[in-house]
Structure 1
Amino acid sequence: MIATALTIAGSDPSGGAGIQADLKTFSALGVFGMSAITALTVQNTQGVSGVHLVPPIFVQNQIKGIFTDIRVNAIKVGMIATAEIASAVAATLREIAPSTVIVIDPVMVAKGGASLLQPDAVISLTKELLPLASIITPNLEESAALLGTSVAQNRS
C-alpha cells in the first residue's frame, strides 16, 4: 500500500511554499498527498500581499472529510494563522488522529517578512497543537517566539 500524508496549511499560488510545496515534496518521496487549506494567500517570489483565512469549521470539515475516506499515515501542519484555526485543528486531530504521526512546522513569518501568525495564535499553538506533535520543525526565530524569548538570548 502506498504511504499517505495530509498537509494542513496555507495555499501559496506561486508554488514555493505551503500546501503546494508540501504536495510536491510528498510526491517526490512517493507519498500520496492530501491537503486541508487554512488560508489562501496572494503571494509570489517577492512576498505576500494578502491573506484570506478559511473559517475554522471549514478547516475541520476538510480534515474530517479526508479521514472518513482515506487512511492517513502522517500529518504535516504548517500555517495556521489564528488561535481559532489552531484550536479547531487541535480538537479535530485529538478526536480522529490520536495515534497518527504529526509534524508541526510553526510557520509564523513568510520569507519576505510578512506575518502569517496572529500574536494570540502562539498561545493556542503552544498549548493545543504542539503537545500533539511527534516532531516540531521551527527555525530559530520561531523557536524563540514559542519559548517567549529573543533570538539574542538563545545565542548566549
Structure 2
Amino acid sequence: MKIGQADERALLEGMVDLQREEIAGLLEGLDDEEARRRLVPSLTTPLGLVKHATFVERVWFHSRIAGIPRRELGIPDTVDESFELAPEDTVDSVRSTYLEACAHSRKVTAGRDLDEEYDWHGDSVSLRFVYAHMIQELARHAGHGDILVEQIRAARP
C-alpha cells in the first residue's frame, strides 16, 4: 500500500520512517572529518544531528513509551549534550547506533494503540502525538543537516 493511501497508523509510522531515512542519509558520502565539521556556532554537525536523533528515539520511545528510566538507557541529561561527539564516534558507528535505535523504537510501538497515553512532564500525550512530534522533530533536523551537507560538499576541492 502506498503511504498516501494508508490508514492513520500506517501513515504516521510511514512518515516517521521517511524522516528516519532522511536523518540516516545525512551521513552518506561524508567522511568522518566532514561529518564532524562545525559550520555554525552550536554543536550542530551532520554527525551530531544523527547522534541527537538517536537521543530523541531513546527519550520518546525507549524511555517514555517503554518505561525504561533514562539513566538505564545512558541518555544524556540535556538536549545540548545529545549533540556532543565522543572521539570514538564515527560515521559508521553513529549511523549504526541510530538505525538500531529506530529498529528498537518500532518494536516498542508494535501493537500499541494510538490513543495509549504516556507521561510527559506531568501531562499525558498519546502515541499519536509522539508520532506527530517525531515527524516534525526529525524533519526539522533533516533540513538542518541538508544545508550543512550541501555546504560541506560545496567546499570540496
TM-score category of the 2 structures, normalised to the smaller one: under 0.3
Calculate the TM-score normalised by the size of structure 1.
0.25
Higher strand fraction (1 or 2): 1
Calculate the TM-score normalised by the size of structure 2.
0.25
